[in-house]
Every structure is written in structure tokens, then in C-alpha cells.
Structure 1
Amino acid sequence: MKNKVTDVFGVKSTLIKTYIERENVDRKFQDAINGGNEVIVYGSSKQGKTTLILKHLDETDYIKVECSPQTNPIDIYKSILRQLNIGYIESETNHTGNQQGGKINGGFKVKVPMIGEIGLGSEVNETDSQSSTQKQIFFEYNLELAQDVSELLQKNKSIKYVVLENFHYLSLETQESLAYDLRIFQDHQIIFIILGIWREANRLVQFNGDLLDRISEVPVEPWEKNDFSKVIDKGEVLLNVDFSNIKTQIINCSYDSIGVVQEICKQCCIAANVHEESETRIILEQEHLVKALKIKSNEYGVRHNRNFESFVDISRKTSTQSGKASLAFPYYFIQLLLTFQLDNIESGLSRSSLLEEIRKIHHRPDDVRSSDLGAFLHNITQYQINKKINPPFVDYDRGGKMLKIIDSSLYFYLRNCNRKEILEDLPNPVEE
């Protein structure tokens, strides 16, 4: 069966055929999942976090929970138990004829049916009308306690890992709560693998210092140019195509994003009318690259422009009102993003430099205080989630006090778009 372009190149939820192993990432991940610590896999979007899981773990080795902004810890634990076919109940009351029904009170309880003697903390249903009496024991577990959940998971030996996808979507309160629960799970040898879009180390240690030395972190970035070359070379063999005339350009315009490399290669093949493995060697030329770059720039542009519009859309206030909203930090941040030197943006923007630059262009520079900017930056991820900007395109590292772009396609778009034109089209919330 011939290889299809969409299986060889591109970004998808299944394992792509041009996956390459990187010594500093794949080996580190293998060591992490076998080391007994909780595992954090982090990096910008579309940089290989999910494919790392797909490469090294069988589907039978783990259960996965997709996190959302509405997810709470108990939602995660309930999903785990459902996937393990462990039934749970909130309460139970039976009244039928001469039957006496016992009731399990309060909270979310897990029902473990067993025939035998009555145990401590259990309740019994007895049926008078039957010739024999059956005793069913109910062990009570509070699903809001990591200790109780750990005991339940230890009873099920078929699953080695629990994968939490899109951990960054969770509220900061939920992330903090889970950081404390992870400490308990680690004590019980229950391994969680957390995937999150951020670019700094020790993210969860900020919430719970006791996790230090109890988690193993695997950053999927940076990608080296040689890695990109290996990916393209592998695709050439699988599809019988030749990228040699444009390979260097593809790598240089990807701005260190494997997702962008994959998508450009896919679009180049499609532009050359290659949809599956070719019978004869197909040479990919400059015209194919130009078409691919235009297509990806337009596709990325639709999403990023919409994100910019949503980001700057704040509640308007009159000039006599004060407060963080009236300072319009979202608008001024996007203004900097669209006017600042791209090399400076790629290396990250410190809180102090942001404060200085915003004051230069702000309509009320004397009112721009470091504390107000800090409050905005600390909540910038949740702000984007509230605006339905998924995935978030920027994140703030509280420890290093650095603002970093975490959407790997944004650099590509900013390099290929008319930034001045985009800024002019954005509504200015401070104008009358």
C-alpha cells in the first residue's frame, strides 16, 4: 500500500511517519516514564508533545484525560475511574417490600461489590424473602481525596500511566490543587504524564515546592536544523520526492517549529500534485514552495488575526475611570507584538522591558504601574482561555518574569504578514 502525503507530512493526532527520535528528548522521556517520578512534557504548541507519547507508549499502557477550562480535579478522577470501568455512586437507597435498604451517604463513593463478611465502614443489603442471604460490601472512597483515588488505582494493575492532555487549559486554582495531589500519587507509584504548553521549567514546582525532585521534566524544544533535515529526508524516501532545491529555505522559514516544517512540506507536495508515493522521482521546486508558503500564511492568518481581535476586545471605560481594564494592556501588548523587532520577541520579553515599552506608547503613561502590569501578566493565560483563544499564543513565566510566545506558528505568520496593516485594522479600545 502506497504512503499517503497526509500520513508522511503534516500535523495530526496520530503518529506521523516522518517522526524521528532525538537523543536529548526521546531518551529522556523513556528514562522519565521508567524512573518512578511524575512526568511533565512541555513546550510550544505543535512541537511534538503528543507524538512523543504515541511513539513510546502503547494505547493499552495508559488512559488519557483531555483537560478543559471547566475541568476540576474530581472531573479528572471520575474520568479515570470510568475508563477503568470502576463504578461509583453518590448515594443509594432501596425500599422494596420487606427489603431493608442501606444508604451510602455524602460525596462521591466508589462501589466495590464483594460477597463475604461485613467489613469496617461497609453497609449491607439483606432480602428477607429469599431463602439465602447475600451480603454485599460497599467500601467508601472519597473521590475528592488523592489518597482514596490512589488506593483505587492501585487495585487496578492494567494501566501504567495516566496522561493529562492540555493541562494548560486548567484554571490556576485547579493546577495548584493537582500539584499537591501529584505528591500523593507519586508516593503510591501512580505515574501521571502531564502535557502542557509552556516554555519554562519547574512550572508545577511553583505551586508545590515539595514536588522538587519528585517530577521529571521533558522539554520538547529546541529543535535543531539538523533534526528538520532528517524529517525531510525521511519523507523524501517514503514519497519518492526530492526537496533538495528548497530544503534549506523550508528549514529557515520554519522559525524552529517542527509543525511549520511538516505543514510546508505537505503543502509543497500537494502543490506538485503529489498526494501519495510517486512511481517516479518528483523534484519539488521554488514555485511549489511559494504556493505552500502562501497557503500556510493565509491559514495561520485567519486564526491569528481572529486571536488578536479577541485579545484586544476589552470592556471600554471612560477616561475618568481607573483600573487595569481602562489601561488597555491587551491592546498595547498586541501593538508591541506588531511593531517590535521580531528577534527581540523570539527571545522573550521581560516584564521590565514590557513596562518600559508600554509606557512609551500608552495614552496615560503616568498611570502605568508595574503592579497593574504584573496582575495582567499573571493572568494572561486564563485571559486567553476566557477569550476562547485556543491554544493560547503567549504565556508568562512568573519565575523568570518573561513573556514568551508559545504558539510555534505565530513566528512564521509574523514574518510573512503585513504587521502594520493588521494593527491598523484592530479596534483601538482607548479611542472615543
Structure 2
Amino acid sequence: MSEVSSNVSVDEVFGTARDLPKNYVWRSHVDETFISALSKGTHVIVHGGSKQGKTSLRKKNLTENDYITITCSRSWGIAEIHEAILKAVGYQTSASESLTSSGKAKINLTIGLGDTELSAETVKQVNKKHLELDLASVNDVLRALDEVGFNKFIVIEEFHYLVEAVQADFSQALKAYHELSKHCFIIVGVWLEDDRLTAHNNDLVGRIISVNADLWQDADIDELFASSEKMLNIRFSQEFKDGVKKYCKGNVFLVQQVCMKACELQGVHRYQESLKNVAHGLDIYEEIKRILQMQTGRYTKFLMEFSVGFAPTELELYKWILFPLITLEEKHFDNGLPAQAMRRMIVEKHPLSKQVSILKLIGALDRVVSLQQEKNIRPIVIEFDKNRSRLKIVDKGFLLWREFQDSSYLLELADLAAELDVVPS
């Protein structure tokens, strides 16, 4: 074992810090697809559930000098996305007296000497041109990027927080970027379907490649165990490994947490000088339960605040959306729960059942991400796939946590106990 390896700590292997975990697992169905997409000059969509490795995928396969990153806000439109990109490149923006064709103010661009890697002469030449542009124009943004010779990938994080109309607008912009330049975007979002952006703009077919970072196969988890054991000179019991795969159900964040806890209970904090057996006789079910209980505050907040909705309404549909999330078996969410199936469940119990139309329900489902953002629920727990009209749980931890809770208590948190005649235990 090398000197570097012998200094490895448990936190570096299983921790959730911003740095790439040392036991990063190369998944051919993910990493190879990602690298291949980058080499083809297409835009890349990296999607999946919360804490399933989307950011680590980028950090593993690109260096910090390969890209710039912006993080979306729910209030942004195309102009704000473009402005954030230009600022990440190194531009400073200020309002211009000139107006765009739509009547909005254009912006002036300047560059400060300490804001970029550009030479002083280049900065001087760019500033002498008094760049002025329309932030809604792809052509204007491309001109600004070309002025500084920008040639990095553009990573857009948390794309799912943009309102759907803006996602659709930017899907149109992506087509223009592909046709008019060699600039490539890496769009990162919390959703499960591969065709989210092509559904907004079918012209993107062939111009983007989707990478699903959500899928963790048993073989991937086995590789995680093997590399971790080698780095720390430990050996997990086979019973522990089987239990982790059984109960964590592909939630790699939980796998990391359980492994770290097993090491801590065994007094393992860093590389062991002699091989040490870990987790023999450990009650994996109880340990996972204890770890998931640490998420109780976040999931309780989700149930209580989501159920209130944006404002009081007669139908109170947002709390009724939680009804199937609390009561249905996990298998019903494997491919998303159809809106029609949700409506049938809700109509059976809702006091104003005749007024619960599918159109009203879909209208509420369309805004579930907006509601979670308004309530500051991060990462989001659920999202609605409008193209397939299905509600999906993108935070796998919620389903796992739910298994250890009393459903009557969860219904009370969602303010559904009275309507359902449920008495909390």
C-alpha cells in the first residue's frame, strides 16, 4: 500500500464533503456515456435523483479549468441565465441607455483586470469596444464569448428549478448554440426521464445526449465496497454487504453513510495497519433506521409545509397529493405514479370528490417543484413528468424513511388525519 493510501481517512472515503470521494466508482453505463457525449460536441444532460452522483460525475471526468458553472434560481429567465454565464466568464454588466426590440434595456459589458485569466492587453482591447448587447439574444451572447476566446464547457446546475416555460425557452436557445457555435452546455437537473429537454424542443434530438446518473446496480455497489476496503485495509462482512444492497435500494448516499457508521462503531477512522474485519454481527436494519431518522426534520417539513400549498384553497389539492405518497407501496412509484391513478385514489376519500377533476389535479402537479422551492425544501422530494403525466419521487431517501414511520402519523403531518378518520398511534 502506498504512503498516500496509508494516510486515507474514513471521511475521505465515505464522507459527503464537496471533494470527490476517494472511493468513486466508475460506472460504464454512466461515465463512458458522459465522456463519449463530451467528445462528440453535443450538449449533455446529466439527470437523476438527489445525491446520486451527478456532481461527482462532472468532478471526476473534468478538471476545474474545463468549465464554468452557474446555479439556477427559480426567478430566472433567459436573460438572467445569459447574464450569469457572462459574469462567470469574467464580464461585469451594467444597464445601457439603449433598448432592445422588445423595449428592455440592453447591457454594457466590461472586464476588470482581476476578474479573468485574460492578459491585460486583451482586457484593454475588449473594453475599448464598448460591448453592448441584448441578454435575450443568443447571437449577442456568442459575440461576447468570442471576444474573449471562451472555449470551456458551460455547466448549468439545478436546471429543474427554472419554471417550465423558461426550460422550454432555453431548450430553443440550446439548438441555436449548437447550430451557431461549438460551445457545449452540460445541463444538470433532478428528474428521472431521459427526454425532458427534447420534449420541450424536438429539434434537440441528435443535438443532446442524456446521461442518467441515478442508476446504481448491485455490481456498482460491490465495486464501491471493494475499493473502500482496499483504501482502508478493512473487510466488511458479507452479511453487511448483502444487507446494505437490500435495504438501501440503490441510494448511494445512504450506502456511504451506512459504511461510515459501521467503521465508526468499529473504531476505524483511517487506514488500518493490519487488516480489520468490520460490521460482523451489526444489525444493518437498525443502523439504516437510525441514519434515516436524521432526515426526519427535513421530511417532516416537506409533509407539513407542502400540504399547505401556496395559499388556502377549497380543494386543498396539495395535501391530497401527499395521500398516495404516504399510503401506496413503493412498487407503485418505480415508473412514476400516473395522475389518473392519483385522482382515483383522491376521489375515493376527498370530501368534495366531484370537484376534483383531472385538469385541476394536473394543474397542481405542474407546480410541485415551484412549491417545494417556495417552501425552501432542498433537495426536492418529488417532481411531475408532464410528458407522461406521472408523479415521481426523486429523493429515494424519502421512500426508505417512510418505511420506518407510522403512516397515521405521516397523514397527521399532512393534515389528512381528520378527513380519513385516522387516529394517530
Q: 1:160: how far off?
A: 1.9
Q: 1:9: how far off?
A: 1.0
* 2:282 maps to amino acid: E
Name the structure 2 match of 1:120: none
Post-superposition CA distance 1:39-92 (Å, at most 9, x none): 110111111111110011000010000112233332332232223223443248
Unaligned runs of 5+ residues in structure 2 are 99-103, 113-126, 420-425
* 1:107 maps to amino acid: K
Change (3 A) 1:112 1:277: closer
1:78 to 74, 77, 83: 83
Partner secondary structure for residue 91 of structure 2: coil
1-structure distance, mates of 2:295, 2:289: 10
2:9 to 4, 8, 13: 4
Change (3 A) 1:241 1:64: same
- Is the CA contact 1:223–1:258 (under 8 Å) kept in the aligned structure 2? yes
Name the structure 2 match of 1:144: 136
- Is the CA contact 2:383–2:391 (under 8 Å) kept in the aligned structure 1? yes
* 1:25 maps to amino acid: V
TM-score w.r.t. the length of structure 1 is 0.84
2-structure distance, mates of 1:137, 1:389: 44
- Is the CA contact 1:46–1:408 (under 8 Å) kept in the aligned structure 2? no
Name the structure 1 match of 2:186: 193
Unaligned runs of 5+ residues in structure 1 are 94-104, 114-134, 318-324
Name the structure 2 match of 1:266: 260
Partner secondary structure for residue 256 of structure 1: coil
Name the structure 2 match of 1:251: 245
Change (3 A) 1:415 1:206: same
Q: 1:24: how far off?
A: 1.3
1-structure distance, mates of 2:176, 2:309: 41
RMSD: 2.4
1-structure distance, mates of 2:366, 2:91: 39
* 2:66 maps to amino acid: D
1-structure distance, mates of 2:261, 2:318: 34
Q: 1:206: how far off?
A: 2.4
1-structure distance, mates of 2:47, 2:96: 40
Name the structure 2 match of 1:332: 320
- Is the CA contact 2:72–2:159 (under 8 Å) kept in the aligned structure 1? yes
Higher helix share: 2
2-structure distance, mates of 1:136, 1:67: 31
2-structure distance, mates of 1:316, 1:220: 35
- Is the CA contact 1:18–1:234 (under 8 Å) kept in the aligned structure 2? yes
Where in structure 2 are the equivalents of 1:147-158 lying within 5 Å?
147-157=139-149
- Residue identity over aligned pairs, in percent, reads 27
Post-superposition CA distance 1:101-150 (Å, at most 9, x none): xxxx941122489xxxxxxxxxxxxxxxxxxxxx9442432222111111
Q: 1:236: how far off?
A: 1.0
1-structure distance, mates of 2:92, 2:286: 54
1:277 aligns with 2:283: no
Change (3 A) 1:66 1:315: closer
- Is the CA contact 2:151–2:183 (under 8 Å) kept in the aligned structure 1? no
Where in structure 2 are the equivalents of 1:33-432 lying within 5 Å?
33-91=38-96, 106-111=105-110, 136-157=128-149, 159-187=151-179, 188-244=181-237, 245-280=239-274, 281-287=276-282, 289=284, 292-314=287-309, 325-428=313-416
Computing the radius of gyration from Cα coordinates, the structure with the larger value is 1
Change (3 A) 1:144 1:218: same
Post-superposition CA distance 1:174-209 (Å, at most 9, x none): 222211211111121111100000011221122222
- Is the CA contact 2:309–2:371 (under 8 Å) kept in the aligned structure 1? no
The worse-fitting range, judged by mean Cα deviation, of 262-271 and 186-195 is 262-271
Post-superposition CA distance 1:235-292 (Å, at most 9, x none): 1111122212311001111122111111211122122222212223142233363563
Change (3 A) 1:425 1:403: closer
2-structure distance, mates of 1:338, 1:429: 12
1-structure distance, mates of 2:106, 2:401: 49
Change (3 A) 1:378 1:87: closer
Partner secondary structure for residue 287 of structure 1: coil
